Amino acid sequence: MEDLSILNINYQLRILKDHVLEIIKNTNQFATHLAKSDSERQKLKNETIANVEQIHKNYEPHIPRHSTPLTEEKHSVKGSLTPFLGENPICAKDIPKLEEWATFSGEGK
């Protein structure tokens, strides 16, 4: 049962990482829009690329890309991740909705 909780947390961390990357991308687009010169825009672009690469480097090895929860029951997440993930973690019932979102957003096949 502990293995299922680890898979669930890993899956949720993958989702959280994707949200962080989306926030970085949106922030960069907004900052680039406000930049006054080409050099400022290029500097922002380079910083964003470096940030995204760092996130991939730090977290990708620890979060299996295709790990999914294997039960219908929701597992509560305790500890420091709860404020980020909320009280209703992802469960197997959510997978079809997530796959539809991933396909729409370009993440899926």
Q: What is the pLDDT of residues 6-36, one digit of tens each?
A: 777 878 888 888 888 888 888 888 887 788 8
Query: pLDDT value at position 97?
Result: 52
Helices (H), the chain: 2-34, 38-59, 82-85, 95-105
Instruction: Name the CA dihedral angle for 95, 108, 77, 25, rounded to a multiple of 10 degrees.
Output: -140
Position 49 pLDDT exceeds 70 = yes
Neighbours of 40 (CB within 10 A): 13
Instruction: Give the CA distances from residue 45 to residues 17, 19, 28, 29, in Å, rounded to whole numbers and listed in that order.
Output: 20, 19, 7, 9
The alpha carbon dihedral of 72, 73, 75, 76 has a sign of positive
Neighbours of 10 (CB within 10 A): 17
Name the residue with higher pLDDT: 100 or 13: 13
d(CA 62, CA 64): 6
Position 37 pLDDT exceeds 70 = yes
Average pLDDT, the chain: 65
- Give the pair of three-digit tokens for residue 2: 């502990």
Stretch 45-59: mean pLDDT: 79
